[in-house]
Amino acid sequence: MSYDDVEIEDMEWNEELQAFTYPCPCGDLFQITKEELKIGEEIARCPSCSLYITVIYNMEDFMGDSDRNSKKNLEPSKQQPVAVA
Amino acid sequence: MEETERTKEEEEEEERERRTVGEVWSWGAGTDGQLGTARLQDEHLPQLLLSLDFAPKTISQLACGGAHVIALTGNYGKVLTWGRGTSGQLGHGDLNNCLHPKPVKLFETLPISHVSAGWNHSGFVSDNGRVFTCGDGSFGQLGHGDYQSHYSPVEVSFLGSKNVNQIACGMRHSLVLLKGQSGAPIYGFGSGKHGQLGVSNDRIRRSFNLPEAIMGFEDVEILAIIANGDHSAALTADGHLYTWGRGFSGSSDAYHPQLLSSPLNFTQVALGWNHALLLTDKREVFMLGGKHHGLLSDPQKMTVELHSPIQGTPYQSSDDDKRVTILAKVPDLNGIKVVQVAAGSEHSALVTVAENGDIMTWGWGEHGQLGLGDTCDQMSPRIVCLGDVLPAEQTQLSVYCGSGFTFAIKSERIL
């Protein structure tokens, strides 16, 4: 059973993991890649446990060679962590 | 990891602490070092932390977040942190995980009186009422007027002139409670998507990066504020509970503080990601929400739950299976009185009244966060065996939950 339904705009792009992520209650992150989104996958899994969430998004936004497009429209603009001392 | 420089005074202090009686135990998810065991692995049974860094007698407050821990020590209000540090939430001036308790330098000369750990951010309140935050700031949850993260604590200058008493950090938001102030006593900042800031009907504006006053508490004396997941709560001095933010058990989100209608008198509240634990003046425990509680990995059990709700009233049933239980007494306590409650994201813990002072846990157990020696879920509280290193009659227990892990402190009872 899906733990939760999460809109793609509430997920954060993680450069290191190359995936959209959302907090998992175990402490790790639910993850789904752009490639998975392109082929219509809607389940984001946590690598540390059995839980998964259902990602709500428009598949068209990720179709085709749309890396640039998806970057512009889908990544939450202010969610790139920038560390400042 | 660099060695902490120790002065002679600190060494003497440690020696005194070593001679005092007390134990710190941890269990559950541990892959970010949050258990303080110096191992990066889950533990299904309570682990006694033998390091001298853990001085239970002097820990006055422990705050457990997504995968990090903040310990406030009674002596001079010093602060130790450990666990995941990848967003700067440990306040050590870097983005590293830390496997052992390490002091936050800024607070060695600035005594701290209250701390809170969110998913990936941390909040600190100083003796003189100033607030500091560090960690992930992507949603404005640090309250500095921007969306930047900080790896050393920075003062929330917007609140500069106000005297702050408490801070509560959730997944992507923070609440602060002011001391004896006329006007709004509670402010919120960070993500407000589910109403957890209690400040906006305007769904377009999802986040606030500066503290916003939460209306509706002008003439109410607030005892405590609580935040976890996308939930917020405030407990009043006369035993009433207000909640706002994400709805429990699939009910709709509350964009303004809602008074829980109940004849019960609440003395303590703990929030998870989908449930709340409420302790009453009669030392009974009630649960709000908890639809997923202990049922995460097994849809079969969920069906059973829908048809046989936990005992107790008031209870609301509906054809719409999204609204199952509103407020229910925690089952199988058989009249055992409770003195403390704690909530992880999807698990719960409580301390029962001594003589039989025990820690009990229930809920989701996949990472061993229940400390029962396995990864099973539990529908009702089970006793955790801490081992009998110290005789129970002379000690008092405290329990603290992070997202997927649990800490217990067994300290000398102050008679």
Q: Which domains does chain B have, with CATH numbers?
A: 20-282+389-412 (2.130.10.30)
pLDDT over 80 (residue B315): no
Mean pLDDT of B233-251: 93
**How many beta-carbon contacts under 8 Å exist across A and B?**
79
Q: CA-nearest residue of chain A to B346?
A: A25
Residue B141 Cα to chain centre, angstroms? 16
Q: How far apart are CA A55 and CA A58, in angstroms?
A: 10
- 0.90 exceeded by pTM: no
User: Which region among A55-64, A70-79, B189-198 has the lowest average model confidence (pLDDT)?
Assistant: A70-79
- Sequence-ordered strand ranges (E) for B229-308: 231-236, 241-245, 254-259, 266-271, 275-280, 285-289
pLDDT level of residue B354 (50, 70, 90 thresholds): low
The Cα-based distances of B31 to B50, B386, B398 in angstroms read 19, 22, 23
DSSP conformational letter for A62: G
User: Which region among A32-36, A54-58, B107-111, B199-203 has the lowest average model confidence (pLDDT)?
Assistant: B199-203
Q: Do A25 and B344 touch (CB under 8 A)?
A: yes
Q: In sequence order, what are the beta bridge partners of B260?
A: none
User: Residue B208, CB half-sphere, CA atoms under 13 Å: how many?
Assistant: 22
pLDDT over 70 (residue A73): no
What is the torsional sign of CA A51, B169, B98, B359? negative
Q: In the prediction, which pLDDT does B294 show? A: 64
Helix, strand, coil percentages in chain A from 3-state DSSP, rounded to 5: 25, 30, 45
Q: How far apart are CA B171 and CA A3, in angstroms?
A: 16
Q: In sequence order, what are the beta bridge partners of B158?
A: none
Q: Does domain A4-61 have CATH number 1.10.150.170?
A: no
pLDDT level of residue B391 (50, 70, 90 thresholds): low
User: Which region among A77-81, B93-97, B289-293 has the lowest average model confidence (pLDDT)?
Assistant: A77-81
Residue A44 Cα to chain centre, angstroms? 7
Q: Do B31 and A28 touch (CB under 8 A)?
A: yes
pLDDT level of residue A63 (50, 70, 90 thresholds): confident
List the structure tokens of B242. 């207000």
Average pLDDT, chain B: 85
Degrees, nearest 5: CA angle B153-B154-B160? 135
Domain parsing of chain A, residue ranges: 4-61
Residue A48: its chain B contacts at CB < 8 A?
29, 31, 367
> Could you tell me if A17 lies within 8 Å of chain B, comparing CB atoms?
no
**Element holding A38 (H helix, E strand):** helix A34-38
Reduce the DSSP state of residue B252 to 3 states and report it.
Answer: coil
